[in-house]
Structure 1
Amino acid sequence: MEADINKQIECREVPVETFENVLHWHVPILAMTADVIQATHEECLRCGMDGYVSKPFEGEQLYREVTRFFKQPQKRISNEVKC
């Protein structure tokens, strides 16, 4: 199966206005990709994603990343997109 969807979704395509009424909450985003290049990991974090898991992954690795979201205080969404 070819994953053309990756080419369609870019962090810079989401308008900031989408989030301007919800600045009091944050929905964590965990990137999940088969790309293991360090630059991809850094790009995901730079674009505002909160974590990164590279496929194939072990269940424990996914669990560890997801539980991090429940252990840290919620951060506010910035109006500045750095991508």
Structure 2
Amino acid sequence: MLTLTETASTVVKSIIDRDPNSTDGALRIAPGANERDFSIAVVSAPEPGDELVESHGARVFLEPTASAALGDKTLDAEVAETGAVSFALVNQG
């Protein structure tokens, strides 16, 4: 199952908190344009079949294909001095 670092959890919570329409929201990860890309969006509810991952108060919904692809990964995040956020996936140790 996908895990989140503490930094990623903090960033996910911060992103969700900035969305006024998402009081019980989560970050949703779904397949992107190709098999190595993923899209993310703030959503208020999961889609049918989504898996819920909770870590340090952060909630992430994984689309079934994304869940299978990311099952052995850890989501990490980095915030640049400009405030830009980048996510990285690393293999679980």
Q: Higher relative CO (CA 8 A, sep ≥ 6), structure 1 or 2?
A: 1
TM-score range, shorter chain: under 0.3
Flag the structure with larger Rg.
1
- Identify, as 1 or 2, the structure richer in strand: 2
- Identify, as 1 or 2, the structure richer in helix: 1
